[in-house]
Amino acid sequence: MAKYIVKRLLLMIPTLLGVAVLIFFLMRVVPGDIVELRFAGESAFAQKENLDKERARLGLDRPLWEQFLTWMLGIVRLDFGTSMWTGAPIMEEIKLRAALSFQLAVMATIIAVVLAIPLGVVAALKQDTWVDYAVRIFSIAGLATPSFWLGIVFILLLLIVFKWLPPMVYTPFWVNPWQNMLQLIWPALAVGYRYSAVATRMTRSAMLEVLREDYIRTARAKGLWLKLILSRHALKNAMLPVLTVIALEFAFLMGGLVVTEQVFNLNGLGMLFVESVARRDYTLTQALVMLVAFVFIFVNFTVDLMYAWLDPRIRFR
Amino acid sequence: MSGLTRMLRLIAILSGVAVLVTPAGAQDRPRSGGELIFAVPSEMPSYDGHREGTFGMVHPLAPHYNTLLRVDPNDRTGTKIVSDLAESWTVSADGRVYILKLRRGVKFHDGSEMTSRDVKASYDKIVFPPPGVGSIRKGQYTNVEAIEAPDASTIVFRLKWPQASFLASLASPYNWIYKAEILAKDVRWYEKNIMGTGPFLFVEHVKGSHWVGKKNPNYWDKGKPYLDGYRAIFMKDSAAQVAAVRAERAHIQFRGFSPAERDSLVSALGRKITVQESAWDCAAWVAMNQERKPFDDKRVRRALTLALDRHQASQALSRIAVVKEVAGVQVPGTPYATPPDELEKLAGYGRDIKKSRAEARRLLREAGVPDGFSFTFTNRGLPMPYEPVGVWLIDQWRQIGLNATMATIEASQHVTELRAGNFTVSSDAQCGYQVEPDLDLAKFQSKEISHNNYGRYTDKVLDELYQKQSRALDPEERKRYVREFERRLLDEQAHTVITLQWHRIVPHSAKVRGWTITPSHYLNQQLDTVWLSE
């Protein structure tokens, strides 16, 4: 097992390197220039001399290979440099938003898991009954409803019915849990619903498959309690694909909630990502892409380890 | 729009107008206390006003600073210059020496005295920035020969030639007075820190979230500010801004809302909302790349402007977009703006659209394109007002046989494409931080002078007229040059097409008092005169 973990950890390096090369050069291909955007734009007084001075200050006048090398050396030292737009250290920019994005992802995941697993199991057990149909309608509706749209509906309902709006400024949970929940529960519900829909359908189909296995039939034939069969034999095995879906969705939430963040005015990583691209803030965009890539790779790695825990056949292989 | 909505909107607008026309003395007495909460749709990259160009910096940061002069906070034209840190000034007969007397007893937030040394250091940084330090508006001060501080309360500007706009330049909303001692130690200190003389002290900035200021108890203007503090919340999404005002989580968003957003707020809040509106110092223009055929032919360019029914569009588009006034090169209602009857004499500004379009077709025939032609209209990827104006333009040009296809490109890429000349015809805009011909017309000088002359033309006559209006100290003489400039730019050469002036709409909580809308969303943001009625 230790050998497997080391091997997987080492494999992360070429993957991250590939991402680094790709994002560095892709950003340079995108038309637009941070200096022009920031200092020229609509101003008739932007002088070329000033723009050149800024480009030199940001290192944009240096050859591409040199810029890439400097960046890579920084990454090796875990120094992502400073944002070209704000001049602040990138880690500071990310840290500020990561807490909110992480909490929202965790809350949405909890909501999704709490909804999806019981619903998926019940739907599988009551296949083709009204219960199954109701769960399927609920989950298909979740898949068809974009979370930002649901967010807008929540906001309008709160505004029109209760003349109330969630707080506009993020308060960390440890500072004021009530304020924190008042702000984040709504986006978590909006995102969690769609997320749960994906997981419900996966749980249902995985359970249906497992429930038809020989070992389940054998367990039933032995006269084991249904509860025991479900918890000890069926659910654990059915969880493998569900876990993958949940983990990938979680990784996506750590930077992909752009519109939902916009709707609820959340200061999260998704908005930071979009703004950094729009501003051609190369260093920040590169760092964010690396972060998201790392989260995806790490989550995949964790899921693989959990597979081994859930399924002894994988562990022994 | 329902009848009720219309009536509510009318009531709110009338109540807003009533507030604006009521003499200051007749208004309620300003009340002290309270925290003003406002939404800001953009955020500053750094804290240094001399370096940045976004209103996203001016709105939250201006209350921490003073400028030498300022635009009168009660002047709706945004052109009346009054004192701020300089209490009086004299100008030499030849218009080349400006002597300003500073207020005494003004203190920085750290308790140190503000003197002419600080003013000189601040203006030296703007006008003669040291190597490696960016000063975005340095080009506006190429005329400044020397800045002197003969004594602690006097500052002198010596100009190379007279400049009509120089006083206005000293009232630029960006030219905050910094502390000389700090600049001497670290000229970039102000990029990340705040230390001003303004009515509010800095409390907190959480990036991407909010900015907080609190009352400066030692402010030099005794009795001000009225507010205990303010909180600026950064909100990119306009729907979130509207929701915040509607739920009374924010009192105001100073930049402006669209007509539909105004109407929704008015219908939801009724008398709890006040609407202030003004012609905006931003214009929706069309740039025609004169390096590409057939736009090198002025007859074709004139045809494009003659095709537009501006007066009809003013009524129709103003219902759905932030454009309204039919205007020339200056904001309507301001001192150098051309009166409507005179404006109507320019190509495309007449009320007889059939006659204009007949003339446009004749010009196209003369230019050798009697059946019209096809071209791509490059539009900026922002919905307001670019999208509706773009659709309208294409329809108008179709009326004279021109077949334009709209290509919408991302906003940040749009600037790059314009500057590189990678377009044939494109939307173009400029928002001024002051209503001042020197600022508003600079863009239209020849491409060798103006880096954002997107028409990519050279017109020495226009350059000369720009200089003449800039140096004319007599307002009437200056007006004449501005008119000549306008006529050449929009009519004789038709270098550019102005569609409509943007229209600024600020619906805000009726509790907010003491704030007057101006044509520029960069102005009047010091908040020293603002108070809350409840």
DSSP B250-283: -SEESS---HHHHHHHHHHHGGGEEEEEEEEEEE
Query: Is it the case that residue B2 has pLDDT exceeding 50?
Result: no
List chain A residues with CB under 8 Å of B236: 262, 265, 271, 275
How many folded domains does chain A comprise?
1
In angstroms, the CA A67 to CA A77 distance is 16
Pick the CATH number of B65-191 from 1.10.10.10, 3.20.20.70, 3.90.76.10, 3.90.1150.10: 3.90.76.10
Q: What is the pTM of this model?
A: 0.89
Q: Are B216 and B198 in contact (CB under 8 A)?
A: yes
List chain A residues with CB under 8 Å of B206: 96, 169-170, 267
| Res. B268 pLDDT band, cuts 50 70 90 | very high
In angstroms, the CA A204 to CA B392 distance is 52
A307 belongs to a structural domain: no
Q: Are B437 and B445 in contact (CB under 8 A)?
A: no
Element (H, E) at A23: helix A2-29
Fold topology of B3-39+197-278+505-532: D-Maltodextrin-Binding Protein; domain 2 (3.40.190)
CA distance A67 to chain B (A): 20
List chain A residues with CB under 8 Å of B253: none
CA distance B256 to chain A (A): 18
Class of domain B280-503: alpha beta
Which pLDDT tens digit goes with each residue over B401-419?
Answer: 999 999 999 887 888 888 8
Residue whose structure tokens are 């992909």: A256
Contact map slice: B 474-493 vs A, CB within 8 A: none
CATH code of A134's domain: 1.10.3720.10
Report the complex ipTM. Answer: 0.84
- The two beta strands, B273-288 and B496-509, are antiparallel
Q: Please compute, for residue A198, the number of CA atoms within 13 A of its CA located in the half-sphere on the CB side.
A: 21
Q: What whole-number percentage of chain A has pLDDT above 70?
A: 97
Strand partners, B273: B509
Q: Return the structure tokens found at B437.
A: 């011909």
A62 belongs to a structural domain: no
A200 belongs to a structural domain: yes
Element (H, E) at B167: helix B166-169
Q: Cβ contacts of residue B126 below 8 Å, gap of 6+?
A: B50, B135, B137, B138, B141, B175
A218 belongs to a structural domain: yes
A65 belongs to a structural domain: no
In angstroms, the CA B161 to CA B143 distance is 7
Report the pLDDT value the prediction gives residue A317, as an integer from 0 to 100: 56
Domain ranges of chain B: 3-39+197-278+505-532, 65-191, 280-503
Report the candidate in A292, A267, A115, A274 with the shortest Cα–Cα distance to residue A204. A115
Does A48 contact B at CB distance below 8 Å?
A: yes
Question: Which domain covers residue A141, as residue numbers?
Answer: 98-266
CA distance B119 to chain A (A): 22
Which pLDDT tens digit goes with each residue over A1-46?
Answer: 788 888 888 989 999 999 999 999 999 888 878 887 777 655 555 6
List chain B residues with CB under 8 Å of A96: 206-208
A194 belongs to a structural domain: yes
Contact map slice: B 364-423 vs A, CB within 8 A: 410-413, 415-417, 419
Residue B458, SS3 per DSSP:
coil
Which pLDDT tens digit goes with each residue over B349-406?
Answer: 999 999 999 999 999 999 999 999 999 999 999 888 999 999 999 999 999 999 999 9
